[in-house]
Amino acid sequence: MKKTKDKSLDRRKFLLRSGLAVASVPFLPISCQQTAKKSEEESNENAFEFAFLTDIHIKPEMNAPKGFQMAINKVNELNPDFVITGGDLVYDVMRGNYEKSESLFNLYKDMCKGFEMPVYNCIGNHDLFGIYEESPEDENHPDYKYGMWERHFGDTYYSFDHKGWHFITLNSLDVTENKRYKGAFHKEQLQWLAEDLNTVDKSTPIVITTHIPMMCTYAQLNGSEGSRTVSNGFEVFKMLEGYNLKLVLQGHIHWKEYGFVNDRFQFLTGGSIAGNGWKGRRHNTKEGFMKIRVAGDDFSWEYIDHGWENERLKLGNKETV
Ligand SMILES: [Fe+2]
């Protein structure tokens, strides 16, 4: 089948980690204590952490490499099993200019070598090569739209498994007739997703990553700026009915949002590494990333401040909200 692949095999440097100590369970009969202890041990055996970093917007200016390096250092210190990114890896390639665009992706890739664990990338709108009207390139360029990203990172949608959980990264971008980006899951990808889900047991916990959110209250809160979501996200949710969808990870908005929908699944919009173009907070959300801890069939999350706000203020970058 098409690209249900584990592209990390050659990059996998998973660190073997021991289970956490088992807490005692007082005031229970011994048999209950043993059962509780056993299930806790089982879920701790498979417990793991991963980091979700989104909207990195790397560029040579504005001390961006210094800020991204601080995030990389913080991730390495936390030592998760792997990193998932949420798109907008670079800023930006939508307006074309091959040499500059190529140098941005190379800068991102070179910096990512600093991560001491595998990195699973997602495509964002700023990563779509040459799609804007003002671009000197057109759709005949081999790197047009997804081409440059694919050449650097491989498929824009794929899945992998880790310790009993199934991770799906989706490509939430397409281009309009008037040469702007739009949030949509194209048909070919939905066909692939159906095939991918056919291989997944209904009880397997699933995490979906998308750059453009499938769930977001931004438009309800801010009105005038319109929808910030994928137009056909409902098709994906429909396909996932009956599956054990646990979490949807999202980028794009540069803010932090958490939701738990109808006791069915949770979603997290993961702030951003770049904030407001490296100048300060966007929507008053501090620059940072998500650390997600998985244990058994459940997870918890924490937004990690990697210290860039203090550093950029020290460097004199203007604070904006
Ligand atoms: Fe972004």
Task: Give the tens place of pLDDT for each residue, 130-178.
Answer: 999 999 998 999 999 999 999 999 999 999 999 999 999 999 999 999 9
* pLDDT beyond 80 at 205: yes
Q: What does the radius of gyration of the chain's CA atoms come to, in whole angstroms? A: 20
| Residue 162 and residue 48 in contact, taking contact as beta carbons nearer than 8 Å | yes
What mean pLDDT comes out for the span 281-302?
A: 96
C-alpha 276 to ligand 1 mean position (Å): 9
d(Cα 226, Cα 189) in Å, to the nearest integer?
Answer: 25
C-alpha 124 to ligand 1 mean position (Å): 7
C-alpha 3 to ligand 1 mean position (Å): 26
Say what the pLDDT of residue 226 is. 61
Say what the pLDDT of residue 28 is. 42
C-alpha 65 to ligand 1 mean position (Å): 16
d(Cα 120, Cα 82) in Å, to the nearest integer?
Answer: 8
DSSP 164-218: TEEEEE---EEE-TTS-EEE---HHHHHHHHHHHHTS-TTSEEEEEESS-SS--H
Q: Which residue has better confidence, 41 or 107?
A: 107
Closest CA to 244 of 266, 265, 267: 265
C-alpha 88 to ligand 1 mean position (Å): 5
| Collapsed DSSP state (helix, strand, coil) of residue 48 | strand
Q: Which residue has better confidence, 30 or 71?
A: 71
Structural domains of the chain ordered from first start? 46-314 (3.60.21.10)
C-alpha 34 to ligand 1 mean position (Å): 49
Cα dihedral 194→195→196→199 (10° resolution): 120
What mean pLDDT comes out for the span 41-58?
A: 89
- How does residue 8 score in pLDDT terms, banded at 50, 70 and 90? very low
- How does residue 319 score in pLDDT terms, banded at 50, 70 and 90? low
Cα separations (Å) of 255 from 192, 218, 268, 291?
Answer: 30, 9, 10, 15
